[in-house]
Amino acid sequence: DVKVTQSSRYLVKRTGEKVFLECVQDMDHENMFWYRQDPGLGLRLIYFSYDVKMKEKGDIPEGYSVSREKKERFSLILESASTNQTSMYLCASSLLGSRETQYFGPGTRLLVL
Amino acid sequence: GIQVEQSPPDLILQEGANSTLRCNFSDSVNNLQWFHQNPWGQLINLFYIPSGTKQNGRLSATTVATERYSLLYISSSQTTDSGVYFCAVGVISSGGSYIPTFGRGTSLIVHP
């Protein structure tokens, strides 16, 4: 079975802090994704990566950056956390190609005070 | 970009009832998936169904790609079916990568 893990289930940070969210998958997937989920808005794509050191912006990249130095690991970085970044963050991975299913991690609930 | 609309936004059922969830999308897609998010936040893939019909136990899904909609059927609902159901459709980005776009979901509560 594919396993996608995220570094924290719950995280509390203060405004202005630099925040790192990490995601690791164990099935050699090329694609990795970061979403945020807010009530009534569904999942919105922040960034995705289709290979090591490769990334593309999603729908809402402002205020975020990403890093993919190894194939199995995809990090989301909040350079200076703000209260409007309080949200549920979900990581996913999939094989390359348009006919592949996505596998999700358990999510990280981030609260920025 | 592609628009994905799910209906109804909320649904409340008694255990044992049947239901149909709908996903409309605004353009041709290469990929369509249905997910269930449990009350603890975990999303699980239910179906990969860009066209045709599939069944898995009490769940089945049908996608009519030419008319740009998909339906998820839940029969004999159970309390464990509660959660949010998402439809995600995929297109190829300008860079050649597959990008899934999610609808806002249908929140389902099944009462015992």
Positive/negative CA dihedral, A90, A95, A98, A102: negative
Domain locations along chain A? 4-112
Q: Is A32 on the interface with B (CB under 8 A)?
A: no
Using the beta-carbon criterion (under 8 Å), do A109 and B41 form an inter-chain contact?
A: yes
**pLDDT on residue A2:** 64
pLDDT (tens digit, 9 = 90+) per residue, B26-79?
988 888 999 999 988 999 999 999 999 999 999 999 999 999 999 999 999 999
Task: Check which CATH number belongs to the domain holding B85 and give it.
Answer: 2.60.40.10
What does DSSP say about strands B10-14 and B59-64: parallel, antiparallel, or unpaired? Answer: unpaired
**pLDDT on residue A70:** 96
Q: Is A39 on the interface with B (CB under 8 A)?
A: no
Domain limits for position B54 = 4-111
How far apart CA B70 and CA B24 sit, in angstroms, is 7
**pLDDT on residue A97:** 73
How far apart CA A113 and CA A110 sit, in angstroms, is 10
Which of A98, A103, A108 is the best substitution to test chain B (most B C-beta atoms within 10 A)? A98
* CATH architecture of the domain with residue range A4-112: Sandwich (2.60)
Q: Is B38 on the interface with A (CB under 8 A)?
A: no
**Per-residue pLDDT at A33 exceeds 70:** yes
Which of B2, B21, B45 is the best substitution to test chain A (most A C-beta atoms within 10 A)? B45
Provide the domain count of chain B. Answer: 1
pLDDT (tens digit, 9 = 90+) per residue, A35-62?
999 988 899 999 999 889 899 999 999 9
What are the angstrom distances between the C-alpha of A44 and each of A26, A93, B2, B3, B65? 24, 15, 13, 12, 23
Q: Which of B79, B88, B77, B3 is nearest to B44 (CA)?
A: B88
